[in-house]
């Protein structure tokens, strides 16, 4: 009888909370709001409103991404407050060199990480749902840089979300212009508190990401209420 009861508990827990099937508890919107009372620095900031001149190309709000599905209902870029402040400093430094930031993705709900993993299991390029992504913590930025005069993206080794070794920031580059552009984006971001991902030249993690929890909050919940 006891064994049957334990099996029933397992069944209830796994069916009532399918988003936690990988054993990771993600912060909800209610938990997040409560956290801000004592830790206001954990606020998620709308980058489009916070950083002058920043451009958005939120690929997961379209079908133009590796899943070929629309993952987000809204095209938004959020990040924790210290991340947003560091990115704002990076934008100012880029601007002095005639370029600016274009964001492909920033904070990402945990459910999206689960979706990516179930589409493409290689954790070289997608985060493990057992640990969650630094995007889920509001501490990662997927981006490129654009010419301020033309708005055109600077030439890089690969397209965004490439699963090729050419996307690795340590892979040698023959084209001197591409190398210059890759060196520029990495050097400026790393001077301003970020670290480039080992397999994605476009992905930058905030150095203090470990202080922040994995979240599963939809953008709709973060939108200002009328």
| pLDDT tens-digit readout, 162-171 | 999 999 999 9
Residue 69 DSSP class: S
Angle between helices 176-191 and 81-96 (to 10 degrees): 140
- Greatest Cα-to-Cα distance within the chain, rounded to the nearest angstrom: 73
Q: What is the mean pLDDT of the chain?
A: 90
For residue 142, list its beta bridge partners: 105, 203
Please report, rounded to a whole number, the percentage of residues in the chain having pLDDT higher than 70.
89
Beta carbons of 189 and 90 less than 8 angstroms apart = yes
| pLDDT tens-digit readout, 49-59 | 999 999 999 99
CA-to-CA separations, 138 to 66, 122, 210, 225, in angstroms, rounded: 21, 22, 11, 21
32-56 average pLDDT score: 97
What residue segments make up the domains of the chain, in order of their start? 44-220
| Number of DSSP helices (H) and strands (E) in the chain, helices first | 7, 7
Of 7-16, 30-39, 83-92, 216-225, the range with the lowest mean pLDDT is: 7-16
Beta carbons of 205 and 140 less than 8 angstroms apart = yes
CA dihedral for 161, 165, 171, 173, sign (positive or negative): negative
The CATH code of the domain at 44-220 is 3.30.1380.10
Helix (H, G, I), strand (E, B) or coil at 214: coil
Beta carbons of 103 and 204 less than 8 angstroms apart = no
Distance from C-alpha of 42 to C-alpha of 57, rounded to nearest angstrom: 24
Record the pTM.
0.87
| Tokens coding 43 | 């606020």
- pLDDT over threshold 50, residue 155: yes
């Amino acid at each position: 009888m006891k064994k049957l009861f334990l099996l029933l508990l397992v069944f209830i827990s796994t069916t009532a909370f399918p988003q936690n099937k990988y054993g990771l508890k993600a912060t909800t919107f209610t938990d997040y709001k409560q956290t801000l009372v004592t830790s206001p620095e954990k606020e998620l900031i709308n980058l489009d409103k916070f950083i002058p001149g920043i451009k958005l190309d939120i690929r997961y709000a379209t079908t133009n991404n590796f899943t070929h599905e629309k993952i987000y209902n809204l095209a938004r870029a959020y990040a924790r407050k210290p991340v947003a402040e560091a990115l704002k400093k990076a934008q100012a430094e880029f601007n002095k060199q005639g370029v600016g930031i274009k964001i492909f993705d920033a904070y990402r709900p945990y459910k999206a990480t689960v979706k990516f993993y179930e589409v493409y299991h290689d954790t070289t390029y997608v985060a493990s749902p057992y640990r969650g992504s630094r995007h889920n913590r509001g501490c990662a930025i997927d981006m490129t840089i654009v010419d301020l005069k033309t708005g055109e993206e600077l030439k890089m080794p690969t397209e965004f979300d490439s699963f090729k070794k050419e996307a690795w920031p340590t892979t040698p580059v023959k084209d001197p212009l591409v190398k210059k552009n890759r060196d520029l984006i990495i050097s400026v971001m790393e001077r301003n508190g970020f670290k480039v991902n080992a397999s994605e030249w476009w992905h930058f993690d905030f150095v203090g990401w470990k202080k922040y929890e994995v979240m599963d909050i939809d953008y709709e919940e973060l939108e200002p209420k009328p």
